[in-house]
Amino acid sequence: MISPEFVVIDVETACQRTSSICQIGIVGYAGGVEVLAYETLVDPCDAFSPFNIGIHGITAEHVLGKPTFTMLHPELAAHLGGRVTVAHSGFDKGALGRACDRDGLPPIAARWLDSVTIARRAWPELANHKLGTLAAFLELEHRHHDALSDARAAGQVVLRAMAATGMTLADWLTPTPARAGRRAGRG
């Protein structure tokens, strides 16, 4: 397998606790081409809320006998660890961190990029930068709240933003002068 230049992760959760991950999708890209697609259901070891089921359609019956987050942690660390990892907003990064904390596992060390921030810089004229809006704008095939489909769409947002702006992955990782100045001013 070709090593991805960056990976994109999306998770779905069973309830309001963000540590209750019940589905994970990861897509890796190299040279603008998808080179990795990973998807799994996860036993969240938590209750399922009707609200969350209504969003993604995953129930306790779907995850019966599936691996827990603790069981998947080594594989997730292998896919994400040390790589540029994209998530559409901070939700997925936070969910991974909370699941690691809950299970007493080391955090997954990755270099995080937010595709919402990238989209805002690439297409400031859009009314919002939700993944569904961006998928429609970019004419992407997308099934919202399916972890693999969401990860794939967020990856396409990054690739299309790179093409639209001429910015490289390294450019996106470099703070803008305004953000760098704000950061330096914090004491």
What's the pLDDT tens digit per position in 6-26? Answer: 999 999 999 999 999 999 999
Structure confidence at residue 174 (pLDDT): 87
Structure confidence at residue 168 (pLDDT): 92
- pLDDT > 90? residue 69: yes
pTM of the model: 0.91
> For 32, left (φ over 0), alpha (ψ -120 to 50), or beta?
left
> Using 50, 70 and 90 to split pLDDT, how confident is the model at 183?
very low
Neighbours of 133 (CB within 10 A): 14
Residue extents of the structural domains in the chain? 6-174
Q: Print the SS3 string covering 112-159.
A: EEEHHHHHHHHCCCCCCCCHHHHHHHCCCCCCCCCHHHHHHHHHHHHH
pLDDT one-digit tens code per residue, 47-63: 999 999 999 999 999 99
Q: For residue 53, what are the CA distances in angstroms to 13, 34, 47?
A: 9, 29, 11
Query: In CATH terms, is domain 6-174 a member of 3.30.420.10?
Result: yes
Beta-ladder partners of 39: 25
